[in-house]
Amino acid sequence: MHLNIITLLPLFVALASSVNGYYADEFDARDYVDGLSTREINQELRRREIVAELADFSTRDLLDAISIQLERRGGPKCSKCGKEFKTHGLLIMHECPEAAKDTKRRR
């Protein structure tokens, strides 16, 4: 069997165009590095540091910190007489003498 180069030429052309068609020039490493800036890298490093610091806290530590803040702030207060309560439920059940005076005045 005798192969003619002219008959194989379309096969080589098709193969060459196929290889060039699948080359993605946009994924070159040099182009990607040019797009990065030091500010973006520093922001990413800060985010990672913050996440690492937050990962050190346990749920118990967070709840303890919140309860300390709530204790410092104090309990709920009656808006009429200013009496302080330990829980919101006690405030709701509270019968304020000042509110009773206001209702008597309105009558």
Reported as a single tens digit per residue, the pLDDT across 70-99 is 777 777 888 888 888 888 888 888 888 776
What's the CA gap between 48 and 50, in Å, rounded? 5
> Residue 37, by phi and psi: left (phi above 0), alpha (psi -120 to 50) or beta?
beta
pTM: 0.29
- Give 14-26 pLDDT, tens digit per residue: 877 765 555 565 5
